[in-house]
Structures are given as structure tokens and as C-alpha cells.
Amino acid sequence: MIRSLPSSTFYKWSFRIYITLFYIFLIMPLATVAILAFNDSNFIALPWNGFTLDWFFSNTEDRVGLFWDENLILSIWTSLQTGFIVALLSTVVGTIAALLFEEENFRFKGLLYFLALSPLVIPGVILGISILISSTVAGNYIENTFGLDIEFLRPSFWLVVIGQFSFGATYVMLLVSARLKKFDRALEEAALSLRATRLQAIWYVTIPYLKSAIIGAFVVAFLISFSNFNTTIFLAGSDPTLPIDLYSRIKFSSTPILNAVSFLIVTVITIFAIFSLFINNKK
Amino acid sequence: MIWSFGNYLAFFEDKIYWLTFLKTALYSIAITALAFAITFPVAFYLSKVISKRYTRFMVLLLLIPIWVGELVTIYGWMILLGDHGVINHFLLSIGLINTPIIMLYTDFSMTIGLVYMSMLFMIIPVMSALDSLDNSIIEAASDLGASKWTIFRQIIIPYAMPGIASGSIIVFMLIIGDYVAPNILGGKSSLWFTEQIYNEFLATFNWNEGAAFGFMLLFLSSLIIWIALKLSGQRLDKVGS
């Protein structure tokens, strides 16, 4: 049943077959889109008509490849920018929140911690509509009262950043907190007794200890931002992020260029995953 | 601005709204249970059976679809399940069927999509609960002649219960709040409650009613979780840690 206990051959093999089937189920959709990106056909599905790179590089009337589709490139670029800014903001605020909740005591700590975690269970659609409504109401009020038109309070690039930051920081906080729980507080106390200030102790002792967790959290925040749809759809203005662009293409005009984009994403993520495995094994 | 409960009343007065919510909630509960049934053996395998050296790699494989993003994976399922999709193409070519099976745009394809995009969030909490289960307890039970089924029911499940509960909460909320899978994979008949909210905001621009629906979704789904926790005798603060 477990490693140390003997089991019957039938039990062992049926378990193995189940796990194999599960992993096939897991990989199948990704492998399919990745392979079909090279299918020489004008439709997204089979049959297989031979290998082609048209859906990446072609620029003819009936086939516009990924690298020639300006709208797609633009939405990828928007997503990269959004992801980077969201990850940066989330990492700074999330790390500070983790330090605060792990190391300090203050009034209403339990309630505030609960609030900080709430984006994990609140559906993205609700975050999206509540940020949209409150920012629009605030924007209208400011415009009517002071005559100022504040752009980021309307659906726009910066409203998307604000929306994604609202849950990105939570994930960073959780990841950094997990590492901080294993931190030996005596190290910080030693620094303090050697007359370091509280800030110096955190900067020279705690932060270096947390470095790999913080980098990991930055990457996770970036990926969460890059793939978010549910919240972003309400907040995006005239410059859609990649998932929103993909959604409207899937809904209204499926061409194999979608397979090419998917292939690109799957490949980058896989390389990245292998890379992270390699780094973690080295340590 | 006029204060009124009219937007909330619309939820109860118009049959389609609360019926959609009811259907969404029941489906979400059933799919959460399904996700648990499918992933529990995997979580158990990864934390107790397989050699520790491979666990990290296997977990990493689980993470890839999540990092790739819901839209790409749901799109992948769309290609797989379509009438001219990969699965039908394969079954036709080996001669198992003569006409394509209709799988896409049904409750079946929607269920697959929802299980697929949420299952990781069941595996991770259950795994971390199982990790702290001392193997010698299982060994002792086995030495005393307990069958696998007894060990499973009386030791493993009770011990993993907090993990199962927190996994179920996350998965349930993910499923009931999802839009992409029901919208892309579901058919005309599988209307999801979130789709009503999206329509209010992005199609009919009735923001007030949409806001009321959003709050109803949050309130009712929290209520369902609260009832489920009470019924199973779990406590939220214990589940959360």
C-alpha cells in the first residue's frame, strides 16, 4: 500500500495504470495544441496534412502567421508589460505583508489576515466587477466634483494592473510566509543585539534568506497575471491582454494561429519548468 | 441614485436566474466530488507510494497546465473533443465508431474542462495533509490485519480530512466562479451563473443587476461552504491552516 508495505502485483499495476492514464489526461490537451501548430491545414483540427511553419512565419492572404499578426503581437506585449508591473508591485507588497503577519503583533491581526487571504476564494468575476464598479463610481465622482478626468479609473491598462495586483499580492504573501515560517528568528535577534536597526536586520539577514522564495513568488505573480482572464475581462480597455484576445479569437474566428500561440506558451512554460527543476535539484 | 432592492428581487422573481444558480451550484458540488474522486489516488500515490526522488518532477508536471493558463488548456480540450476533433478522428480511423460522437458543447465537455482546470487545487492540499501522516500508523494497522479498505476508510480519509476540506473549498469556488470552461466547452443548455453576470456587464450593460447577481453568487456560495463545513464537522480556522 505504501512504500514500506508489500502489495499484490495486481494492486500495484492497476495503481500504475491509473496514474499513467491520469498523466495522459493531463498532458493531452497541451500536446495536441502544440503538435497541431505545425499542421499544414487551414482548420484547427485534424486530419494531419504535413508539417509547416506557416502559422508562425507566413504572411500571405489566407495565412497570417503569429509573428506577422500585429494585434496578437500587441496583446502579447501588453500582457508582458502588465505581468511585469503586477509581479513587481505584488512582490514588494506581498513580501512586506508576509513579514508583517509573521513577525509582528497588532490589533485586528486575525481579521486583516483573513481579508488578505480572501482573494484566494473570491471568484475572479466578483473581484472584477467590484473593482470596475468602485473605480467607475470614484471616477465619476471626481469628474463631477473637481472636473478632473482620471484615466486609470476607467477600464484601461492601469486598471488591469490594479485588479491583478489585488490578488497577486496574496499569492506572494503566502509563498513568502511559507519560507518565513522556517526562518530561525535567532538570526534576526543576533543582528539586533549587535546593534543593527530593525530595518537593517531585515535587509541584511531576513531578505537574503528569503531571496529564492521572493524570486519564485515574483515568477508566480507574473504567470498568474499573464494567464488571468476572469478578472481582467472587466477591466481591460482598448488594449486587451493576451487571454482576452485569445478568448475572442476562440469564440469568433478560430484559425491555427491559436495553435501557434498555444505552442509558444506551452514551450516557454515547459522550458521554464525544467529550468526550475534543475535549479532546485542543484541546491 | 435611488436605493432599492429591485435588483435583488430580479434574482428571485425571474425563474431563469435562480434556476441557473441552482443548477450551477448542484453541478459545482458534483464536479468538486468528481475532482476529489479522480485526484485522491494521485495525491496518495505522489505522497506515499512513489519514491520521493520523483515526487518533485511529477508535481511539476501537474503545475504546467496551470501555468500555461486556463484559456489555452480549455482550447486544447475544444480541439480534442470536437465533432472533427482529435478523439473522434482517432476513433473513426481505427473503426471503433462510424459517426462522430457528439462530445463538444455538452455538459460532458464542460465537466471535463472544469475538472481539468481545478484538479491541481485538490491534489496539493490533500498531498500536504497526507505528507504528515506517519507511515508507521498504516504499517501498524496492516500488521494487525486490517484490509486496505479499512485502512483507507478509518485512517487515511479521517487524517486527510482537513486537506480534503480546504481542497474542496478552493475547487468549489473555482468551479462555481469559472467562466471560460462553461462558456467555451458548454452548450446552449449548460448556462452557468457567471455567464449571467458577464452578460449583465458586457452585453446588456445592466450593471446594477449584475452587481446584485455578483453579490448573490458570493453570498450563496459562501453559505454552501458554511453548510458543508457544519455537516462534515470541520472548522474553518483548522481547514485554513
pLDDT for B73 equals 92
> Measured between alpha carbons, how far apart are the two ends of chain B, in Å?
43
pLDDT over 70 at B43, yes or no: yes
pLDDT at A283 over 60: no
How close does chain A come to B102, measured CA to CA in Å?
15
Say whether A182 sits in a helix, a strand or coil: coil
Q: pLDDT value at position B217?
A: 86
Single out the residue of B108, B126, B146 nearest to residue B31, CA to CA.
B108
Question: Does the structure show a pLDDT above 70 at A282?
Answer: no
Per residue, what are the HEC states of A53-106?
CHHHHCECCCCECHHHCHHHHHHHHHHHHHHHHHHHHHHHHHHHHHHHHHHCCC
DSSP type of residue A204: I
Task: Report the residue from A15, A259, A269 with minimal CB separation from B64.
Answer: A269
- State whether B69 and A226 contact (CB < 8 Å): yes
Give the pLDDT score at A281: 64
Residue A243 has pLDDT above 60, yes or no: yes
Distance CA B34, CA B49 (A): 22
| H helices present in chain A, as ranges | 9-36, 54-57, 70-103, 109-117, 124-146, 157-180, 185-193, 198-201, 207-227, 232-235, 242-252, 257-282
Q: CA torsion angle for A69, A72, A75, A77 (degrees, to 10)?
A: -60
Residues B71, A15: C-beta atoms closer than 8 Å = no
Cα–Cα distance, B199 to B13 (Å, whole number): 18
Reported ipTM: 0.87
Q: Average model confidence (pLDDT) for chain A?
A: 84
Closest chain B C-alpha to A2 CA, distance in angstroms: 5
Cross-chain Cβ contact B75/A23 below 8 Å = no
Domains (ranges, CATH) in chain B?
8-240 (1.10.3720.10)
The CA-based dihedral angle spanning residues A80, A252, B101, A49, taken in that order and rounded to the nearest 10 degrees = -70
Write the burial class of residue B178 (CB in 10 Å: 0-12 exposed, 13-18 middle, 19+ buried). Answer: buried
For residue B137, report the phi and psi dihedrals to the nearest 5 degrees.
-65, -45
Chain A hits for B174, Cβ within 8 Å:
123
Fold for the domain defined by A71-252: MetI-like fold (1.10.3720)
Nearest to residue B122, comparing CAs of B74, B163, B71? B163
- Three-class SS of residue A37? coil
Distances (CA, A) of B102 to A9, B106, B119: 38, 8, 24
Query: A243: which chain B residues are within 8 Å (Cβ-Cβ)?
Result: 69, 71
- Residue among B56, B57, B197 whose CB faces A129 most closely: B197
pLDDT-based confidence at residue B63 (cuts at 50, 70, 90): confident
Q: Do A2 and B56 touch (CB under 8 A)?
A: no
In this complex, the residue of B67, B73, B85 whose CB is nearest that of residue A45 is B85
Q: Looking at residue B94, what is its pLDDT?
A: 83
Give A-chain residues touching B170 at CB under 8 angstroms.
Answer: 120-121
- pLDDT at position A95 is 92
- Please report, rounded to a whole number, the percentage of residues in chain A having pLDDT higher than 90: 15
3-state DSSP call for residue B50? coil
Per-residue pLDDT, A180: 86
Q: Give the Å distances, CA to CA, from B229 to B34, B166, B186, B226, B235.
A: 18, 10, 30, 5, 7
Asked if A130 and B148 come within 8 Å (Cβ–Cβ), the reply is: no
Chain mean pLDDT for chain B: 84
With CA atoms as reference, the chain A residue closest to B44 would be A2
Q: How far is B101 from chain A (nearest CA, A)?
A: 15
Give chain B positions within 8 Å (CB) of A124: 177
How close B15 gets to chain A, by Cα (Å)?
22
B48: which chain A residues are within 8 Å (Cβ-Cβ)?
1-3
Cβ atoms of A125 and B214 within 8 Å: the answer is yes
Q: What one-character DSSP code corresponds to residue A241?
A: -
Report the gap between the CA of A206 and the closest CA in chain B (Å): 23
Whether B139 sits inside 8 A of A4 (CB atoms) is yes
Whether residue B240 has pLDDT greater than 60 = no
- For A262-275, the pLDDT digits (tens) are 888 898 888 888 88
| Alpha helices for chain B (secondary structure H) | 6-13, 15-44, 52-68, 70-81, 86-93, 107-118, 120-131, 135-143, 148-151, 157-176, 180-185, 193-198, 207-232, 236-240
A276 to B138: CB separation less than 8 angstroms, yes or no: no
Position B102 scores a pLDDT of 81
The partner residue sitting opposite B214, judged by closest CB among A121, A125, A258, is A125
B68 neighbourhood in chain A, CB within 8 Å: 30, 227, 262, 265-266, 269
Residue B214 and residue A243: Cβ atoms within 8 Å? no
Between the two ends of chain A, the Cα-to-Cα distance in Å is 31
- Nearest CB to A3 within list B49, B62, B169: B49
